Chain A
Amino acid sequence: MTTGKIVKYSLSFILYFLIQVFILKDLVLFGYAFCFLYVFFLLSLPHELPTIPLMLIGFFMGLFIDLFYDSLGMHTASAVLLGFLRNPWIQVNTPTGGYDDNVPPTLLNMGMGWFVFYSIPLILIHHLLFFYIDILGTDLYLPLVIRVSASMAFTFVLGIIVQAVFYKKERVL
């Protein structure tokens, strides 16, 4: 991890956070589809990053977002879970020939097929936990399913667009 990279990821942390709380918070399509774009920040961190810092980054990202959403603890719990499961899931998905160093797991570096298989289950788990905590104490399971699927679609589509437009290919061919 070079200083340049740390600066780059810190800036991207702040940018994802600001976009999340000031723009995407008010953007809920049809009352069901939320966009939690910040999960893509956690997904696109370098795969060499160990689980412990990853969980801590997730914890603080979630906590800061919770402050603005007034949903204290919900984003935190979901983001920590995502951080805990990400590296094992990356190990499971190792492509033939292994991962290259200094190549973060982004859409352009890894290809669409790999990225869909990598991101969808993690987004699903994150959203499921978030909306499950939200309905605790009630029996609104149908709205839960609608919210999770609609939000997954929205988050994924916007995330893919961001990845395609703002990230550049780093893989050396």
Chain B
Amino acid sequence: MQQIFLFLYRLRALLLFLALELLAVGIIFTHNSPQGAVFFNSSNKLVGNLLSVKNNFVSYFSLYTANQALAEKNAELLNKLDRVSPVLDSANLSIDSVLAKNFEFWSARVINNSIHLNQNYITLNKGTKDGIEEGMGVFNELGVVGRVKGTSNNFSSVISLLNTNLLISSKIKETEVFGSIKWDGLKSNEAKLLYVPRHVQIEPGQEIVTSGYNAVFPEGIMIGKVKSVNPGSETNYLDISVSLSVDFSKLNFIYLVKNDSREELDSLGIEMETAGP
């Protein structure tokens, strides 16, 4: 018995090494699961506050561009409002206007962002206290940014579109062809449109928007433009490169969207799956 203890004692550094590495690998896997506890990342209180303080200093440098972008978004919204508002004749009102309000919107500020790794995350300065929930869509005036992965009281952590684990249901605006946007980990301004069959005609320059099928984003939020189309190497799908409309290196203010009927849609999906053929 004593021999065994002596033996283990001699190996103590190796054993501790293995234990610490196992611990590290454990947290890597729990962190990178698409949904999971986030108490131990940049959305925790202390880290979030520190990042927030830093961002208060740094954000002054990008105030001009941020203001410009906000002004442009305002102008766009005013245009839309102008088109929507003149419904004076009640005959033009849709009957189920109560049910039509499916989406709620919030705004928040980016306090931490990375674009150079393969699993990039963004931290926002709002959390459960402000009504932010897991699974909300995140976008800015240029297009889709990501999806909320987890929240703490005051901060939330977002899986960036620049994360090889995130798929976003999307379609080509003109032709209504569906596919999934996924980042390939190479350039911060390019992604791939997956699962588009070979027979589909696609031209470079066509716009890609969210499809509204996955119930995270409303339909029609900009994602990017088709950059090049090639026949896929071995699959039945086309290899489509998309230039993203969002400049991820200059994220500042973003919007969050919550689909109020998401639970309903999700549970319907689960029912369909469990019912099976």
- Give the B-binding residues of A (Cβ under 8 A): 22, 25, 28, 31-32, 34, 50-52, 55-56, 59, 62, 67-74, 76-77, 80-81, 84, 133-135, 137-138, 140, 143
CA gap between A170 and B49 in the complex, in Å: 39
Q: How many residues of B contact A (CB 8 A)?
A: 40
Judged by a CB distance under 8 angstroms, whether B41 is at the interface is yes
Q: Which chain B residues border A81 with CB–CB below 8 Å?
A: 17, 21
A73 touches B28 (CB 8 A): yes
CA gap between A72 and B115 in the complex, in Å: 16
Q: Smallest CB–CB gap between A89 and chain B, Å? A: 14
CB-CB nearest in chain B for A25:
B114
CB-CB nearest in chain B for A81:
B21
A51 touches B13 (CB 8 A): yes
- Give the A-binding residues of B (Cβ under 8 A): 12-14, 16-17, 20-21, 23-29, 31, 40-42, 44, 47, 50-51, 54, 112, 114-121, 123, 157, 164, 184-188
B47 touches A67 (CB 8 A): yes
With A51-B13, A52-B12, A71-B119 known as contacts, the answer to whether A137 contacts B28 (CB < 8 A) is: no
With A55-B13, A143-B185, A143-B186 known as contacts, the answer to whether A134 contacts B24 (CB < 8 A) is: no
Q: Which chain B residues border A34 with CB–CB below 8 Å?
A: 116
Q: Which chain A residues border B164 with CB–CB below 8 Å?
A: 137-138
Q: Which chain B residues border A135 with CB–CB below 8 Å?
A: 118, 185
A73 touches B41 (CB 8 A): no
Of the candidates A56, A77, A143, the one whose C-beta lies within 8 Å of that of B28 is: A77
B41 touches A72 (CB 8 A): yes
Q: Which chain B residues border A72 with CB–CB below 8 Å?
A: 27-28, 31, 40-41
Interface pairs (23), CB distance under 8 Å: A22-B54, A31-B116, A52-B12, A56-B20, A67-B41, A67-B44, A67-B47, A68-B50, A70-B114, A71-B117, A72-B40, A72-B41, A73-B25, A73-B31, A74-B24, A77-B25, A84-B17, A134-B118, A137-B164, A138-B184, A140-B118, A143-B185, A143-B186
Q: Which chain B residues border A76 with CB–CB below 8 Å?
A: 20, 23-24, 27
Q: Which chain B residues border A137 with CB–CB below 8 Å?
A: 164
B118 touches A70 (CB 8 A): no
Q: Which chain A residues border B25 with CB–CB below 8 Å?
A: 73, 77
Q: Smallest CB–CB gap between B136 and chain A, Å? A: 18
Interface centre among B20, B44, B54, B114 (most CB of A within 10 A): B20
A80 touches B21 (CB 8 A): yes
A138 touches B119 (CB 8 A): no
What are the 5 tightest A-B residue pairs by CB atom distance, in nearest-first order? Answer: A73-B28, A77-B24, A72-B31, A70-B121, A73-B27
